[in-house]
Structure 1
Amino acid sequence: MAQGAPPTYQDAINNPEKSFNPGSGAVVGQPGYPPNSDPATVVVYPSAGYAESPQPTQQVYNTGYVNPNYATEPTTVVDTMPIVAMSETPQGAQPDHGAEGFTTVGSFSDLSVRRIFIRKVFITLGLQLLFTFGIVCVFTLIDSVKEFVQYNPGLYYAAYAVFLVMYFVLVCSVTAARKHPYNLIMLILLTIALTYMVGTISSFYDIYAVLMGLAITVGVCLTVILFSMQTKFDFTKCGGLIFILLMVLVLYGFLTIFTWHYYWYVQVVYGALGALVFTLFLAFDVQLVMGGRKYELSPEEYIFGSLVLYIDIIYIFLFILAIFGGSSRS
């Protein structure tokens, strides 16, 4: 075989580890090989028994020799390792909300979980308000019921005691607020007790004042709820300010005990201040329920969410009713 000539097919089968450089006559693996360092693709010849034209399978450095009989472009085999994106919370896992009902933003970022939570809260709240305002209308419009509740104050104080017990249990005990169905039973008892109290208070007011108070309450609450959902302002950061306003309201309330009999406008100012404070509370609590703010309620706290929104709306109604004043026994 002439020097520099390509090997025969039989030589390639018998000596697969050797190949020849037509430019220098050097054999692969001998000293002086390779003649240059330019990268290129060469063919790795098949092992014995392969009868068809071999297909190149890998990329290697230039040996200075490419068999002209194999014109097919080589296929480069790339060995890659999968890149795994690391995250703090595995996909599909629920975040830990801890023992408390209040969490920081992002505690339930799953939109489906948030929608279910919001739906539960507002359905429960709607049923509470329908029951309460329906009983208020009964206590105000039916004279026999009005006289009964007005001349039996013991039932009012009993309802007040039930309300306080249920309220503090649901607010102070996370276990009680999450344990179904006991949390629902306690919420129903609280709603009945507060409804009786509100109905009794409304019975001492003129029917037109009560209806006007209901209409204004509905308008104010719907406006505040829609505004709180859409605004970028975060009311959950204003807890300290709202608490200070609440303390001012409490102190002013003690003042009205001794002065409202002499100055009618004291009661009006008290009602306006109370309506303002609990309107801010309503905006604060709506954003806690909706989530996406600095603080939000965890998904397990739908009973607590319904409770705080319900109490906010009831107090707004009572303070608006106090603005009209003119309470009269009938």
Structure 2
Amino acid sequence: MSALPPSYDAHQNYPNDPSKTAYQIPPPQPAYAQPQPGYAQPQPGYAQPQPAYAQPQQAYTQPQSTGYSNAGYGQAPGTHATQPGYSTQFIDTEYASQPKSDDEGLFGASFSNKAIRRAFIRKVYMILFTQLLVTFSFICLFIFVDSVKRWVQENMWFYLLAYGLFLVFYITLACCPSVRRQYPGNLICLAVFTLAFSYMAATISSFHDTGIVLLAAGITAAVCLSISLFAIQTKIDFTMCSGLLFVLVMVLFFFGWACLITFYAWGGSSRIMSCVYGGLAALVFGLFLIYDTQQVVGGRKYEISPEEYIYGALQLYIDVVYIFIIILGFMGKK
């Protein structure tokens, strides 16, 4: 058997004995000192990723300060903004100024993007102008064609049928968000509603002189245009006046019943009561036109969601047609 090499302890105990140091272990210090430069070399390579690691941190903090500040949400409401780039004010004021959400998404902060707002307004008013064009066509047909005028005046049951369709489809579109948001069912329901309401307005117009009807249509266009421009330019927020509108509607409703009872009790209508009722109705629907216009245009406390273009066009259309009927009642004799 071959002899085992002397251990490291033997080398330490007998440094001068050749038999003990035949297999000397290399001095550890030089061998240990050599890898130190090699060990020191990776240190700069290890230190290099640190700036690269610090850079993503800075890039990650930038979207927090820019993206959140643009949206108005610096931190949670009621806390101080402590991140760099934030203001030191409370965020409650900015958060409270945002449009509120209500009625299953009917109102909301929907116009943060100006392109979305412009597309929504354009779509609403294109639908509105189409509806008004259909209504005006019905009115012209009923007042210029004598055979059609006589038929609608002799068959009032068709007017009652149109009135029933008007109520059913109006309640459906106003109270069922799933119907007015689903294409193409929303456009079909709106088309039926528009035809029914156009027939009603044209039937009422057939009982008046042709010149009076055309004059009332022109006055209605001027009044609605001026009211719409006022609603867009004014700093008064009429979307916060829903309670006032409700009170005026209740007054108009019960005053109308009082006029109807007086008509049947006295065997005729009072001109003064008719003028008061007509003036009150014109005031109410003029305020409704301002209210609905500001909701469509946006920039107020309550704004209509971009998905509710059918609802916006529906409300504006009803306001305009009712103002026309009221003005026609003022100017006509029946």
Alignment of 1:1-330 (within 5 A): 81-82=57-58, 83-86=61-64, 100-104=104-108, 106-260=109-263, 261-327=268-334
**What whole-Å deviation, never above 9, does each CA across 1:174-212 have from its counterpart, x for those lacking one?**
000100000000000000000001111111112222112
Q: Please, which runs of 5 or more residues in structure 1 have no aligned partner? A: 1-13, 18-46, 49-56, 59-75
Identify the range of structure 1 (175-184 vs 262-271) with the bigger mean alpha-carbon deviation. 262-271
Residue 99 of structure 1, CA deviation:
6.8
Q: Quickly say closer, same or farther: Cα 1:197–1:236, change in 2 above 3 A.
A: same
**What whole-Å deviation, never above 9, does each CA across 1:275-330 have from its counterpart, x for those lacking one?**
11000000000011111111111000001110000001011111111112412xxx
Would you say the 8 A contact 1:171–1:304 is kept in 2? yes
Q: Quickly say closer, same or farther: Cα 1:97–1:266, change in 2 above 3 A.
A: closer
Which amino acid is 1:272 matched to?
Answer: G
Q: How much identity, in percent, do the aligned residues show?
A: 46
Q: What RMSD over aligned residues (CA atoms) do the two structures have, in Å?
A: 3.0
Residue 237 of structure 1, CA deviation:
0.5
- Work out which structure has the larger RCO, using CA pairs closer than 8 Å and 6 or more positions apart in sequence: 2
Q: Distance in 1 between matches of 2:255 and 2:157?
A: 27
Which amino acid is 1:263 matched to?
Answer: S
**What whole-Å deviation, never above 9, does each CA across 1:80-125 have from its counterpart, x for those lacking one?**
541234356999xxx9978724324x33311111111111100000
Would you say the 8 A contact 2:292–2:312 is kept in 1? yes
The alignment covers a number of residue pairs equal to 256
Q: Distance in 2 between matches of 1:123 and 1:77?
A: 54
Q: Please, which runs of 5 or more residues in structure 2 have no aligned partner? A: 1-32, 42-46, 72-98
Would you say the 8 A contact 2:209–2:332 is kept in 1? no
- 3-state SS of 2:107 partner: strand
Q: Which residue in 1 is equivalent to 2:6? A: none
TM-score by length of 1: 0.71
TM-score by length of 2: 0.70
Q: Distance in 2 between matches of 1:302 and 1:192?
A: 19
Q: Quickly say closer, same or farther: Cα 1:96–1:225, change in 2 above 3 A.
A: closer
